[in-house]
Structure 1
Amino acid sequence: MVVQRAKGTQDLSPEDMRRFRLIEGIFRDSCLKWGYEEVRTPTLEYLHLFTSTGTLTPSRLGRVYSFLDWDGWSGERVVLRPDGTIPIARLYIEDMKERELAKLFYVTNVFSFEETGKESREKWQCGGDSIGAGSAAADVELLLLALGVLKQLGLQDVEVRLSHADLIRALLAKFGLNPEEQHSVFDRILDGDEKVLSGTKSERPELGNTLASLLDLKGKSSGFLKNLKALFNQDSKELKPAMDNFIKTVELLEAVGVNYQIDLASGRGFEYYTGLMFKLLIGGEQIGGGGSYDHLIPLMGGRETPASGFALYLDHLMKLTRVATLVGPQAQKILIKAEGEKTLKDAFSLAAALHEAGHEAEVDLGSQKPTDYKWLLSVRDKAPHFVLSNRASRKKLEAHKAGEILKFLESGQVQISKSK
């Protein structure tokens, strides 16, 4: 039997984890600077959290990993978390509902079944949520936070595409489509199912033509939306609230210097979004997205609470981020070699002292390659008890006490003799 990882999963190597932690660290620091607090939700959630309120479409629910959590004579069906936002909303309702404003962030994995196994079934996200503000400013803050993280990662040419869930709903509701039909028709068209659009045109020409026009709507300014509002002036009662909210948000984005493209067709998967939706792309590949979800918390049993959130897709960012361009000077790695069993105790004690002083040091276990280290430190049972060698320059320091080694590495002012 061949030992291998499960289909649709992946391992993270030491190099992968360096990149992962680098991205995570930049994201975490950025969130803290904006006043967000870190939270973590369970990997397991009850299935009804995602089904009872219609928070996920049937197609997404069909891809969740669910099983019976058996407890005595009865059990509840649970799922591996398929979404990052809904557990955050549950956490807020359960533990933080007294807060007028909760600004939260997380780094988490989500699970979704993918039949071929070619795509990962476990994906990592860095996400942020602003719960309680309910304003264009809150949406813009989240977008600025996300763009700031990408900038710190050295990623350029980030494309921002904007859509608006309530505007899409208002346009589709004109033709008598219920919420489930809205999701189905819109998502299938965006998936490239041209038969849906052609069929709709033949069965309901007015709806088909409107959908075709909707998918072609693109612009790069608030003026574009104002012209669109004038175009649909006869339906202003239904469209006005969504259009006004959209215009207010993009005007603020323009004021803070964010370039964007209005693309209503980028609103795929808008099941729990209510207002602004945004996607972040590099080279046509989506690396993140988010939007407002003002109805989600009351749908789940909480009080009326506006909210917005976003997620950056860590798996994609890891492929695009170059660690070497972001990290500063590397720690001076030290390999400590004990010359004999008697000196092992001193070698480990010295390694601990070096760690406390902020150095990266390892005791030689017999398999390390000296070429991977800048310094080689021999611990002997005779004088001189410590010999520190610079592998590149071949200079060395002989010392009788460990403190001399620490002092040198700290200041670099101790005289080193040339190796003979």
Structure 2
Amino acid sequence: MKPQRCKGMRDLLPAEMAVFRLIMGICRQCFLKWGYQEVRTPVIEYLHLFTSAGTLTPAMLGKVYSFLDWDGWSGERVVLRPDGTIPVARLYTENMEKQGLARLFYSANTFMFEEEGGRPRERWQSGAELIGSESGAADLELIALSLEILEKLGVEDVELRLSHAGIIKILVDKLGLNAGEVSESLAEIDRDSPLYEEILKPLLDLEGKSSGFLKKRRALLLESMPDIAICLDDFLQALELLDSLGFPYRVDIVSGAGFEYYTGMIFQLYQNGEKIGGGGRYDALITSMGGGNIPACGFALYCDRLLKLVKPDLLRSPESPAILVRPRQGSKESIKAAYGLAASLRGVGYIVEIDLGGRRKKKYRWVIKIRGKEALEVRDNTRSIKYEFASSADFLKLLEADSDD
């Protein structure tokens, strides 16, 4: 039996890997232009990083890959990171807290055990964390940055959905719901119950509405849930900022459930009903790790899901035409000449392979046969023309002339 990859894992073949690198490259380029600095965290973290502060829901913690890191005398439970934000917050708390404001970005794989068939257990994401600012403009910056990246990747019809963690937490407490399964629990509430009419329906009626509509309904919402006043005003302020810059969005209060560490506005990015990214504010996370009272917000784009949405032919920069160099088999002098010619061509930017035998499906613009120490026979497969050159210098002149056409 042929070897197989582990369940829930994925191989990326050359064509997919080219798109994957394209996604990572565009993300990195945008992050750097916005003033973010790249960091990298270990794939293994201590389990208590995700449990002591209640940073992930119990349902999510039940799906982590964990094992004992045993040193011969004692051991501690560790996990393959299930999330990208928490390790970066740990990195900041451990190494960078004294510097204050930090704009950080990363590209990382995360792991979550999924029992449902077909769902990936390893996921790649590229994200940014803005640590040290409590301003609503910081949330706005992350939304604008995420949308810019998706635009540069050519992803169309992106829908921005907005929620607020504070409102969700109050809703969960009022209705006695499971924080990790808000959407499912809400669907089971009796539509004729007083709880639905007094508390839930006014919030559900906000779906798809603007800040203006929300402002008009503020008094009505506070009648049934007076304790959401601070969260509601914070949410309104964020919506008004988005309105001022012309960002279209959809209010969807109950859609923001999932991560326990969010404290403020939550945003999610959808394309044709599939979530392709999201983020939010987590002002209490660093404090819960033993750090200072430092506000923060961040987001991540799900690179695996973007693979099928990116149009690489539109985004990939033109590559130099591929060249195949064929030495005479068994001739040491010819092989030496082939390697020297290939090195010269690569030095001026061309993609060059040396023919080592075997079948190949790849198409080459130029095929070069080594005829002697210097002599070359060159075939241009695009124009179906054959050339004879006394030296590689003469062939380089042809390439220069061809690139000018």
Tell me by how many angstroms 1:214 deviates: 2.7
Tell me by how many angstroms 1:193 deviates: 6.7
What residue identity is the alignment partner of 1:377? I
Q: 1:293 to 1:414 in 2, by over 3 A?
A: closer
Which of 282, 292, 304 is matched with 2:281 structurally?
292
What residue identity is the alignment partner of 1:135? S
Match for residue 393 of structure 1?
A: 383
Cα distance per residue 1:144-196 (max 9 Å; x no partner): 111111111111111000001112223444x3x7xxx55x1x5434136743x
**2:402 is aligned with 1:412:** yes
Please show how residues 345-384 of structure 1 align to structure 2 within 5 Å. Answer: 345-367=336-358, 369=360, 372-381=363-372
- Give SS of 1:403's match: helix
Tell me by how many angstroms 1:220 deviates: 3.4
Tell me by how many angstroms 1:273 deviates: 0.5
**2:325 is aligned with 1:336:** yes
Distance 1:24 1:116 in 2: 28
5+ residue gaps in structure 2? none
Cα distance per residue 1:295-353 (max 9 Å; x no partner): 11101111011111111111110011121122233321101111242211121122122
The answer as to whether partners of 2:181 and 2:258 remain within 8 angstroms in 1 is: no
Distance 2:404 2:13 in 1: 39
The answer as to whether partners of 2:37 and 2:104 remain within 8 angstroms in 1 is: yes
Which of 263, 269, 282 is matched with 1:280 structurally?
269
The answer as to whether partners of 2:181 and 2:257 remain within 8 angstroms in 1 is: no
Match for residue 69 of structure 2?
A: 69
What residue identity is the alignment partner of 1:406? L
Please show how residues 146-185 of structure 1 align to structure 2 within 5 Å. Answer: 146-173=146-173, 175=174, 184=178
The answer as to whether partners of 1:201 and 1:208 remain within 8 angstroms in 2 is: yes
What residue identity is the alignment partner of 2:349? G
Which of 202, 211, 220 is matched with 2:200 structurally?
211
Please show how residues 6-405 of structure 1 align to structure 2 within 5 Å. Answer: 6-173=6-173, 175=174, 184=178, 187-191=180-184, 194-195=187-188, 197-198=189-190, 205-206=194-195, 209-234=198-223, 238-340=227-329, 341=331, 342-367=333-358, 369=360, 372-381=363-372, 385-405=375-395
What residue identity is the alignment partner of 1:77? R
Distance 1:371 1:142 in 2: 42
Distance 1:214 1:413 in 2: 62
Cα distance per residue 1:49-92 (max 9 Å; x no partner): 00111111111000000000101210011000000100010000
The answer as to whether partners of 2:168 and 2:254 remain within 8 angstroms in 1 is: no
Cα distance per residue 1:10-53 (max 9 Å; x no partner): 11101110110111111110111111111111100000100111
What residue identity is the alignment partner of 2:125? Q
What residue identity is the alignment partner of 2:261? Y
The answer as to whether partners of 1:201 and 1:209 remain within 8 angstroms in 2 is: no
Moved more, 232-241 or 160-169: 232-241
Q: 1:274 to 1:380 in 2, by over 3 A?
A: same
Q: 1:379 to 1:139 in 2, by over 3 A?
A: same
The answer as to whether partners of 2:165 and 2:257 remain within 8 angstroms in 1 is: no
Tell me by how many angstroms 1:410 deviates: 3.1
Distance 1:330 1:97 in 2: 43
Distance 2:311 2:271 in 1: 15
Task: Report how many residues are paired.
Answer: 403
Q: 1:224 to 1:396 in 2, by over 3 A?
A: same
Distance 2:274 2:99 in 1: 37
Distance 2:203 2:233 in 1: 18
The answer as to whether partners of 2:44 and 2:80 remain within 8 angstroms in 1 is: yes
Distance 1:370 1:114 in 2: 37
The answer as to whether partners of 1:229 and 1:236 remain within 8 angstroms in 2 is: no
What residue identity is the alignment partner of 1:375? W
The answer as to whether partners of 2:341 and 2:392 remain within 8 angstroms in 1 is: yes
Matched residues, percent identical? 49
- Give SS of 1:265's match: helix
Distance 1:251 1:269 in 2: 25
Instruction: After the TM superposition, list the runs of 4 or more consecutive aligned residues in structure 1 that deviate by more than 6 angstroms.
Output: none
- Give SS of 2:10's match: coil
5+ residue gaps in structure 1? 416-420
What residue identity is the alignment partner of 2:43? T
The normalised TM-score by structure 2 is: 0.93
Distance 1:19 1:388 in 2: 32
Distance 1:280 1:414 in 2: 43
Distance 2:201 2:278 in 1: 24
